Chains A and B, each alone.
Chain A
Amino acid sequence: MIGSPYTLGGNTTSAIMLKVMLALLPGIGAHAWLFGPGIWVSLLLCSFFAIGFEALLLMMRGLPMKPFLSDNSALLTAWLLALSLPTLAPWWLYAIGMLFAIVVAKQLYGGLGQNLFNPAMVGYAVLIISFPVYMTQWVAPLSLADHALTLADAFDVVFAGQGSISPDAYTSATVLDTWKTQTRLQTPVESILAQPVFASSGQAIVAAMYLLGGLFLLWSRLITWHIPLAFLAGVAVSAGLLHLLDPTQHASPLLHLFSGGVMLGAFFIATDPVTAASTPRGKLIYAGLAGILVAIIRAFGGYPDGVAFAVLLMNVCVPFIDSYTQPRVFGHKIKQGSDKP
Chain B
Amino acid sequence: MSRTLFTFNGGVHPDGHKTESNGTPIRAMPLLSRYVVPMRQHIGAPARPVVAVGDAVLRGQTLGAAEGYVSTAVHAPTSGRVIAIEPCAAPHPSGLFDLAVVIEADGLDQSIAFEPLDWRALDPSALRNRIREMGLAGLGGAVFPSYIKLNPGAQKIHTLILNGAECEPWITCDDRLMRERAPELVRGIEIMRHALGSATILIGIEDNKPEALAAMRAAAPSDMEVVAIPTLYPGGGGKQLTYTLTGVETPTGGRSTDVGIQVFNVGTAYSLYRAVELGEPLISRIVTITGHVSNPGNFEVRVGTPLSDLVTAAGGMLPGASGEIVGGPMMGFDLMDSAAPVTKAVNCLIIKNSKLFPGKPIELPCIRCGACAKACPADLQPFEMYWYSRAKNFGRAQSYNLFDCIECGCCAYVCPSHIPLVDYFRFAKSEIWEREREKSGADQARIRHDFKTFRLEREKREKAEKFAKAAEKTKAAASNPSEASAAVDPDAEKKKAILQAALERAQKAKESVAPRNTEDLPPRVQREIDEIEARRAAVETKTESTE
Contacts and interface: CB of A to CB of B under 8 A. Distances in A.
A8 interface: yes
A224 B243 CA distance: 25
Contacts of A276: 368
A278 B352 CA distance: 36
B433 interface: no
Interface stretch (A9-17, A37-45, A244-252): A9-17
B13 to A, nearest CB: 9
B249 interface: yes
Interface in B375-425: 377-381, 383-384, 400-401, 404, 407, 409, 412-418, 420, 422-423
A113 B330 contact: no
Contacts of B333: 3-4
Interface stretch (B129-137, B217-225, B298-306, B357-365): B357-365
Contact of A111 (B251, B365, B371): B365
B483 interface: no
A330 interface: yes
Interface in A1-56: 1-9, 11-13, 15-16
Given A2-B360, A16-B369, A327 B93 contact: no
Contacts of B415: 8, 11
B329 A279 contact: no
A184 interface: no
A123 B420 CA distance: 33
B239 A330 contact: yes
Given A3-B334, A6-B325, A8-B418, A329 B379 contact: yes
B525 interface: no
Of A67, A113, A322, which is in contact with the most chain B CB atoms at under 10 Å from its CB? A113
A328 interface: yes
B270 interface: no
A332 interface: yes
A5 B329 contact: yes
Contacts of A279: 373, 381
Contacts of B368: 113, 273-274, 276, 278
Interface in B1-60: 8-9, 12, 14-15
B490 to A, nearest CB: 37
Interface residues of A, number: 37
A15 B416 contact: yes
Interface string A256-278: 00000000000000000110101
Given A278-B381, A329-B401, A330-B239, A5 B409 contact: yes
Contacts of B70: none
Interface in B142-184: 169
A113 B378 contact: no
Given A3-B93, A9-B414, A326-B381, A67 B367 contact: no
Contacts of A274: 367-368
A333 interface: yes
A6 B329 contact: yes
A71 interface: yes
A5 B369 contact: no
Interface string B435-469: 00000000000000000000000000000000000
Contacts of A6: 325, 329-330, 332, 352, 357
A112 B364 CA distance: 9
Q: Is the interface of B mostly helix, strand, loop or mixed?
A: loop
A15 B328 CA distance: 28
A114 interface: yes
Nearest to A113: B365
A11 B381 contact: no
Nearest to B363: A67
Given A273-B367, A273-B368, A331-B239, A13 B423 contact: no
Contacts of B14: 7, 9
A13 B417 contact: yes
Contacts of A67: 362, 364
B364 A4 contact: no
Interface in A322-341: 322, 326-333
B246 to A, nearest CB: 13
B271 to A, nearest CB: 26
Interface string A60-102: 0000000110010100000000000000000000000000000
Nearest to A67: B362
Nearest to A8: B413
Contacts of A73: 367
Contacts of B252: 329-332
A3 to B, nearest CB: 5
A113 B367 contact: yes
B416 to A, nearest CB: 4
Contacts of A326: 381, 400
A6 B243 CA distance: 27
Contacts of B414: 9, 11
B377 to A, nearest CB: 7
A273 B369 contact: yes
Nearest to A73: B367
Nearest to B94: A1
Given A4-B325, A4-B330, A330-B377, 10 more contacts: A1-B427, A5-B331, A5-B412, A9-B14, A67-B362, A273-B370, A278-B383, A326-B381, A327-B379, A332-B251
Interface of B: 8-9, 12, 14-15, 93, 169, 239, 243, 249-252, 254, 325, 327-334, 352, 357, 360-362, 364-371, 373, 377-381, 383-384, 400-401, 404, 407, 409, 412-418, 420, 422-423, 426-427
15 contacts: A3-B420, A3-B426, A7-B15, A9-B413, A273-B367, A328-B379, A329-B379, A329-B380, A330-B249, A330-B378, A330-B379, A331-B251, A331-B378, A332-B252, A332-B401
Interface of A: 1-9, 11-13, 15-16, 67-68, 71, 73, 111-114, 224, 273-274, 276, 278-279, 322, 326-333
Ranked 6 nearest A-B pairs via Cβ? A5-B409, A113-B365, A11-B416, A331-B252, A6-B329, A7-B329
